[in-house]
Amino acid sequence: MATYVDRYPDEAGVVKATFAVAFAALGVGALFGLVQALHRTGYLRVIDSTDYYTVLTGHGVLLALVFTIFFLLGLFTWAITRSLERPLPNIKLTWAWFGLTTTGAVFAAVAIVAGLFPSLDMSADVLYTFYAPLQAHPLFYVGLAMFIIGTWIAGVDWFLAYREWRADNPDERIPLQAFMVLTTTLMWYLSTLGVAVSVVVFLIPWSLGFIDTVNPLLTRTLFWYFGHPVVYFWLMPAYMMWYTVLPKLAGGRLFSDPLARVVFVLFLLLSTPVGIHHQYLDPGIAEGFKFIAMTNTMFLLLPSLLTAFTVVASMEHGARQRGGEGYLSWLGALPWRDPAFTGMALAGIMFAAGGFSGMINAGMNINYLVHNTLWVPGHFHLTVGTAVALTMMAGSYWLVPQLTGRRLYSRPIALFQVVLWFVGMVFMSNAMHRAGLLGIPRRTAEPQYQSFDFSATVGSVSELRIQMAVGATLLFVSVVLFLFNVLLSAIEDPIEMPVDDSLPAPLSGADGSPVVLDNLRLWTAIAVVLVVLAYSLPLASIVTDGGLFGESGAFPVFVDAVYRVAGVVA
Amino acid sequence: MAIETETDSSSGRDPERPKGYVVGSAPADAERELSHDEFDPVGTLTVILVYFLILVGMWVFMYFVEFLGNELTVVG
Ligand code: HEM
Ligand SMILES: [Cu+2]
């Protein structure tokens, strides 16, 4: 009976390192979050309003990109070794991608934070969406490129492990966690292609002065080509824990392994061809393309609803095994004193609420009501900010002991911490959603206009401001408690069994399900076709209108050809 | 050094199971084993129905407060 660190000490080292980067980003990002929430509500102003974008960029990049993706890198490394039951083929390669991603992330962070020091003459106030016309110091884009390439190598690392496993087990079904890692990685390759082209071909040469202009709509579209799927790289680690860890914590077993596979395949197929739904208000993209993106988006609700069913059913299975009865009273039989369980369950509840505001965002007409208002951060603080971030923190209470061989420092503090996050987010996101409905804009230090008052139908604007500030403060305290607890756990004395890390088999296993589910080549091919269908015409028309490099109108021949082909096909 | 050491949920019926202060030790006090066929997720159905009702309620609320209660928010 040994835990993960005893079986895979080298891999445990890498996973610990990725988690350390993730948690450092979480700490700094949360501090920035508090600063900006207090600033824009007017309660405490420690920065100049002109520095607001610097702080907001730091917040967005460190939390939405660095914290989440580094956690993913660690979790997937853990999952692939654990579920294939073999170490990674070449630990030097593993450390190499860790080094590259970390250096890239540090470069980007340095470029952002330098903006707070005018003497440094370096800044990257381009927000986490980093498209033109906002321009950053080249170091920021170079850091991003290194980071992306590092993640590609991580994917190679996991696929190499899979190939070795396949050679030894030619006829077996891919273990569930490995299946999740591989499908998510394929999705990542497909979607980061867009952002990599944007950064390497356009933004780096532009920031270095090699080219004078870029086509802003093109960089926006390439960003959102990646910017929607990236929400699934936030979510997939959380889904992996909900599917494979949460049922166990609840005292039961996963309801259905095939259903979980179907969900991940659906995400691979559907998550990239929808990015244009972030551009409903962009001029220069025809309404028809936007409408197609909206329809695809509605299909994406399907895997989320399947997940809701499977995960709740698995929890219910646990509750009933532990003596739960009735239609709703079984909920009381769940292990609410286990912080890992409670954190994930609360995260799931918040995700259900985020589903509601997400459906509003997705609708083309109703999106106009909330576009670029505080509603939008209200929405994604429920999804990435809670469903994902809280699941990652809660999951850490279960994962970190496996990685260190030491027990958790304090379970009561952990329990308090996850509940505090939930309460803080109820305040903050409720206030953000409602403020958005009043038309209060996002991304601004001074969300008020001269001789114009926002008026609330229910409650008042100052009440919303207080809620936001109180919520933000609770959230920040929660992060501090989390970091404190994890840090102290790391210096505990090692013990033999720090955590119960066994995972029970699903109620309904993979054996009976169609083998085609494991055909990764097929799903990738279909995903590529869908992307080509969704994006080739919009991209062609964007380049035709604005030129590949902005004003210049370069490469019309290519685009004419695309149009001619399209004309023939239609 | 941990500030709490007592056993909470691991009853120690299974000698392979970690004892003492652990996260994730819920199944130790399972009262019964439910197989796939014995398990009928009515609770899940109930929870999803409740969620669905909340969604419908919120839509109706949106309609009255946001559309009937306000001037046009976006013009042209
Ligand atoms: C201490 C916890 C947090 C606080 C107090 C906080 C606060 C805020 C506030 C007030 C804004 C809106 C700023 C504006 O539009 O003017 C914001 C934006 C944002 N937050 Fe958070 N947040 C927290 C945690 C998180 C987490 C955990 C994530 C993701 C993992 C996250 C991701 C973002 C992103 C992506 C933005 C948008 C940045 C942009 O508009 O470019 N936040 N946050
Ligand atoms: Cu999206």
Residue nearest to atom 21 of ligand 1 (CA): A33
CB pairs under 8 A between A and B: 149
Q: Across the interface, do B34 and A408 touch by the CB < 8 Å criterion? A: no
| Model confidence at B12: pLDDT above 50 | no
The residue of chain B nearest to residue A354, with distances taken between CA atoms, is B55
DSSP, collapsed to helix, strand or coil, labels residue A508 as strand
Residues constituting chain B: 76
Q: What is the helix (H) or strand (E) element at residue A379, kind and residue range?
A: helix A375-382
Residues of chain B neighbouring A358 (CB-CB closer than 8 A):
none
- CA–centroid distance, A351 to ligand 2, in Å, is 15
Alpha-carbon distances of A158 from A86, A90, A163, A192, rounded to whole Å: 11, 10, 9, 17
Higher pLDDT among residues A272 and A467, named by residue: A467
Shortest CA distance to A378 belongs to which of A280, A445, A471? A471
Structure tokens at A284: 């220069």
What is the 3 state secondary structure string of B6-74?
CCCCCCCCCCCCCCCCCECCHHHHCCCCCCCCCCCCHHHHHHHHHHHHHHHHHHHHHHHHHHHCCCCCC
User: For position B1, what pLDDT does the model report?
Assistant: 47
Convert the pLDDT of each residue in A309-355 to its tens digit: 889 988 898 888 888 888 888 898 899 999 999 999 999 999 999 98
How far apart CA A14 and CA B23 sit, in angstroms, is 22
| Model confidence at B8: pLDDT above 60 | no
Is residue A235 within 8 Å of A388, Cβ to Cβ? yes
Q: Which listed residue (A67, A76, A162, A232) is catalytic? A: A232
Convert the pLDDT of each residue in A522-553 to its tens digit: 999 999 999 999 898 889 888 888 888 877 54
> Known catalytic residue: A317?
no
Residues of chain A neighbouring B29 (CB-CB closer than 8 A):
251, 322
Q: Decide: residue B57, CB within 10 A, 0-12 exposed, 13-18 middle, 19+ buried.
A: exposed
What is the 3 state secondary structure string of A205-267?
HHHCCCCCCCCHHHHHHHHHHHHCHHHHHHHHHHHHHHHHCHHHHCCCCCCEHHHHHHHHHHH
The residue of chain B nearest to residue A328, with distances taken between CA atoms, is B43
Radius of gyration of chain A (CA): 23
User: For position B14, what pLDDT does the model report?
Assistant: 53
User: For position B29, what pLDDT does the model report?
Assistant: 57
**Ligand 1: which atom is nearest the Cα of residue A471?**
5
Is residue A151 within 8 Å of A101, Cβ to Cβ? yes
Shortest CA distance to A271 belongs to which of A541, A526, A566, A9? A526
| DSSP conformation class of A405 | S
Name residues 41-70 of chain B within 8 A of A (Cβ): 41-44, 46-48, 51, 54-55, 58, 62, 65-66, 69-70
Q: Across the interface, do B48 and A398 touch by the CB < 8 Å criterion? A: no
Residue B43: pLDDT band by 50, 70, 90 thresholds? confident
The residue of chain B nearest to residue A437, with distances taken between CA atoms, is B66
How far apart CA A535 and CA A532 sit, in angstroms, is 5
How many Cβ atoms sit within 10 Å of the Cβ of residue A288?
10
Convert the pLDDT of each residue in A158-169 to its tens digit: 999 999 999 999
User: For position B6, what pLDDT does the model report?
Assistant: 39
The minimal CB distance from A493 to the residues B1, B47, B55 is found for B1
How far apart CA A272 and CA A308 sit, in angstroms, is 21
Is residue A443 within 8 Å of A378, Cβ to Cβ? no
Q: Across the interface, do A407 and B21 touch by the CB < 8 Å criterion? A: yes
**Ligand 1: which atom is nearest the Cα of residue A386?**
27
Q: Across the interface, do B21 and A356 touch by the CB < 8 Å criterion? A: no
User: For position A217, what pLDDT does the model report?
Assistant: 93
Q: Most A CBs within 10 Å: which of B11, B23, B47, as the mutation test of the A interface?
A: B23
| Model confidence at A560: pLDDT above 80 | no
Min Cα separation B37/chain A (Å): 9
Which of A265-269, A299-303, A550-554 comes out lowest in average pLDDT? Answer: A550-554
> Known catalytic residue: A173?
no
Name residues 13-52 of chain A within 8 A of B (Cβ): none
> Known catalytic residue: A320?
no
Residue A563: pLDDT band by 50, 70, 90 thresholds? low
Which of A105-114, A177-186, A389-398, A450-459 comes out lowest in average pLDDT? Answer: A450-459
> Known catalytic residue: A379?
yes
| Model confidence at B30: pLDDT above 70 | no
| Model confidence at B75: pLDDT above 80 | no
Radius of gyration of chain B (CA): 25
Residue-by-residue DSSP string for A55-78: HHHHHHIIIIIIIHHHHHHHHHHH
How far apart CA A60 and CA A71 sit, in angstroms, is 16
- Residues of chain A above pLDDT 90, percent: 66
How far apart CA A260 and CA B37 sit, in angstroms, is 19
How far apart CA A564 and CA A235 sit, in angstroms, is 40
